Structures are given as structure tokens and as C-alpha cells.
Structure 1
Amino acid sequence: MKWLIALPAYNEALVLEKNVNKLVDFCQKNLKPTNWQIVIVDNASTDQTAEVGKRLAARYENVDYIFVSQKGKGAAIRAAWVSQTADIYCFMDADLATDLSALPRLVQAMAGGAEVVIGSRFQPQSQVKRSMIRWLVSWGYRLALKILLKTKINDAPCGFKAINQAVKTAILPLVQNKEWFFDSELVILAEKKGYWVQEIPVIWADPREGKDKSRVKIFSLGRDYLKQIFALRQRLKSL
């Protein structure tokens, strides 16, 4: 069984090499006998991400590098997933905010028959470290999804997910968003179409501090999320 692990990267030159080295080492030690391939997706970066990504692809047989000119997390993940054929398609944020200890649980859940697996910061066993403002925004977003889209998923936006080939074939063409709402839309559409969605606990922390702090503007992103939620709500009526 082949796993394709997409690693979307926008201006991640400062952390990319360290984190890919860490990910490769973890996969080599913990994912045997799973066949895995990491795809670094350079999402139109303007720093040295391209140089770092190409160097890593040359260093490791299990690492590829691709450049995507269209900005947006969703566009990057989609490009990685359609670049190769696999049995399981996964992605994680390049900052490795989700501790890699969750990766074997992701593999186990998919092997157990789940068709979509999501790392969830709201599972009782999860350990999460984040600022109060991010907690409030996250809870608000979760509540909006549950009320407006009637989803049972607890952490749709967490950047640690896997889908099987059937979900990729049937659901990926239906996903319209190319940015941050992409994976929320993906898993909610899969849920509405009757695929088995399973959430697993994670250890999660925002590792960006100082000059390397997160570039995501949470309030403007929150407004865009609400806009996308209402748009998806309308689409679900006809799907």
C-alpha cells in the first residue's frame, strides 16, 4: 500500500529542511512496511523554499519537489495528490504543528477501514498548546460548521488528514476552494456522501514564534471561512 504525503510549503525556507529531515527519519523508523512518498509542494514561494525543496528531493529517494504557481493551500495539496498514483493520500502542514506521533495512528485508522481520517484537537486524549485567541476562533469556527452544515466532524480545519483512493476519485473533483477552506470542504463533502470519517487524537502546538510566527491572519481568515461555509451550505442543497 502506497502513501502519498503532501507537504504544502509557502515561504518555509527557515523550517523546511529541518522538518523534512525529521519527517523522513520518522517514516523510515515507524512506517515499515508501508510504502510512502513525500511531495514538497512549493506554493509560489518568494524565499529560498525552492532551493531547499530541490536539495531535499535530490537527497532522499522518497521525497519529491514540485512548484505550483497558483497560491493557496488547497491548490498545493491538490497538485501533490494528482501528481502521483497512491492508495492513500495524506497531507500535513510544513511546520509540523501536529506531532508526528499521530502518523502511525493515521495509518492504523486507514488500515482499519476508515475512508477519511482527521487529526482532531478536540479529542479527549489530544494535547493542544495555543493562544487563547486561537482557541476562541477555533471554537467559533467549529460551532459555525456544526450549526450551519450539520456536520458531526469536530475539527475539520486541522492540517493533518488522509483520504483513500475512492474519496480522492469521487470527492476531490467536487471541491471548489483552492485556499484554506479546501480541506474542510473536502471532509464535509465526504461525510455528506456517506464515507466513513474517523477522527484521531493528536499532540498539537503552534511552533511559530518571533520572526517566524504564523503568517495566517486569523480574523480575515475567519471572515473568509464564514463566507465559504454559507456558500457550501447552498451547494449541499443540490448535491
Structure 2
Amino acid sequence: MKILISLPVYNEELILKQNVLKIFDYCQRNLKIDWQIVMVDNNSSDQTSSIGQRLAADFPQLQYLFIPRRGKGAAIRAAWQKFNADIYCFMDVDLATDLSALPALIQGINEGNDLVIGSRFHSDALVKRALGRRLISYSHHLLIKFFLGSKISDTPCGFKAINHRVKNQLLPLVENQNWFFDSELVLLAEKKGYRFKEIPVCWQDFREGQDKSRVKVISLGLNYWREIIKIKPRLKL
């Protein structure tokens, strides 16, 4: 059995090396099966490319993949199409989700689930983030629940796994190439009756206070709402 862990990256020169090595070390110590990590570079303009290529040259289990198109969804799609695995995982390279949840993510697939979703709304989850961002996240949660009728508590959390068969079936159906990609993926999976499981995560917003303004957060929130409205006719949940 082989696990592929995809890391979408864009202009991450400040954290890429240290965080990829953290993931590498964790996998070496805790995963007893074959695994591979792929850094998918979304056309970065800083030193992300050179750092990623050096890491891949130094460690056989690390891969670097450059794609000219920007977007989280485009990065995940490229990795899933290029590399073969039994279980496909992805996470955010800032490691907002603690790596201690990775074994449970994989175990959930081994238990027979088609998808496993990290949830910040799980009763056992531990979340540290500013009140404003927490409120935006909760508004997304309510919109997904009541507007779409979904039972998935945390569609945007960037910590998910999917098995090979369902990946092949769902990937051609996903239209979004950006931040809504994985939300669309799990919502389509729910509509089609695939088996999924949510697991609790320890989650901390390490990027809090780094944005130059609140405009980015608000803009992403509004785009997310638009995508939710756009996808409703396709779901009919």
C-alpha cells in the first residue's frame, strides 16, 4: 500500500524547508507503509522552486512538481493525476493541522471509508484562531449545513484523504481549481453516496496577522459563498 501526501505551495520560501522536513520526519517515525510527499509549486515568484528542488534531490521520498497554473485545486489535481497511490492525502504546508491526526486520516480509509475529512467542528477538535476568522468559518459551516443540507461539518479544512477508486471517479467532476476544490470534492462525494468519516484535528492559524489587510480574508469568504450558491443546483441534497 502506498500513501501520497500532496502539499500545494505558493511563495512559501520562509516555511517550506522546515515544514516539509517536519512532515518527512513524522512520516519516517510513524508510518509503517510506503509513502511519498509531493510539493506542488503553483508558479511561485520567490525561492520556493529552488528550495523544493533541492529537497527533492536530497530525499528520494520527496518529489517537486511545478505547474504554471495557480490555485490550490489545480495543484492537488496535478499531483493526483501524475502520481499513483492507494490513498491520496493533502494538507496545507503551513501545518495549521497538527500532524498527529495523520495516522487517523489514513486509518479511516483503511477502515473502508472512501474519504476522510479533518474537522475543526468535531466535538474533540482543538482550534486556536482569532474571533473574526472563527466567525467567518462558522458562517461557512452554517451555510453548508442549512443552504445545501450537507451533513459534513467542515468542508474547507485543508486536511483530507481519499482512496484511489473514488479519486478516479470524482476528479473529472470537480470544476473548481482554487480554494473551493476540496469542498466541491467532498460535497459531490456526499451527493453520490460515498462513505466518509470526519476526524477531530488540532488546528492553529499560524498565518494570523501576516496578511497586509483583512481584505484577503473577506474576499476569500465572499468567493466561498458564491461557490456554495453556484454548486447547489448540481447537488440537490
Query: TM over 0.5, yes or no?
Result: yes
Q: 1:157 deviation in Å?
A: 0.2
1:208–1:214 CA contact under 8 A, matched in 2: no
Secondary structure in 1 aligned to 2:35?
Answer: strand
Aligned to 1:74: 73
SS of alignment partner, residue 14 of structure 1: coil
Q: Which residue in the other structure is 1:96 paired with?
A: 95
Counterparts of 1:76 and 1:174 in 2: how far apart (Å)?
16
Name the CA distance, whole Å, in 1 between partners of 2:95 and 2:185.
21
What corresponds to 1:23 in structure 2?
A: 23
Runs of 4+ in 1 over 4 A off after TM superposition: 209-216
- Map of 1:8 onto structure 2: 8
Q: Quick check: 2:105–2:116 contact (8 Å CA) kept in 1?
A: yes
- Which residue does the alignment assign to 1:59? 58
- Deviation of 1:236 after TM superposition, in Å, equals 2.3
Specify whether residues 210 and 233 from structure 1 end up closer, same or farther in structure 2 by C-alpha distance, changes over 3 A only: closer
- Which residue matches 2:220? 221
Gaps of 5+ in 1: none
- The residue type equivalent to 2:117 in the other structure is I
Q: Distance in 1 between matches of 2:36 and 2:181?
A: 22
Cα-to-partner distance string for 1:181-203 (whole Å, 9 max, x where unaligned): 00000001011101111000111
Q: Secondary structure at the match of 2:3?
A: strand
Alignment deviations for residues 87-109 of structure 1 (CA, whole Å, 9 cap, x no partner):
11110001011000000111111
Is 1:154 the equivalent of 2:153? yes
SS in 2 for 1:13: coil
Residues 1:87 and 1:144: Cα distance change in structure 2 (over 3 Å): same
Question: Take 2:214 and 2:56, find their aligned partners in 1: how far apart are those partners?
Answer: 26
Separation in 1, partners of 2:215, 2:163: 29
CA distance in 2, matches of 1:214, 1:163: 35
CA-to-aligned-CA distance 1:115-142 (integer Å, 9 cap, x gap): 1001100111111100000100000001
- What SS does the aligned partner of 1:217 have? helix
Q: What corresponds to 2:167 in structure 1?
A: 168
Structure 2 contact 19–94 (Cα < 8 Å) conserved: yes
What CA distance in whole angstroms lies between the structure 2 residues aligned with 1:91 and 1:219?
A: 25
Distance 1:210 1:221 in 2: 16
* CA distance in 1 between partners of 2:211 and 2:10 (Å): 12
- Where structure 2 has 5 or more consecutive residues not aligned to the other structure, the ranges are none
Alignment-derived partner of residue 116 in structure 2: 117
Aligned length in residues: 237
What code does the residue aligned with 1:90 have? C
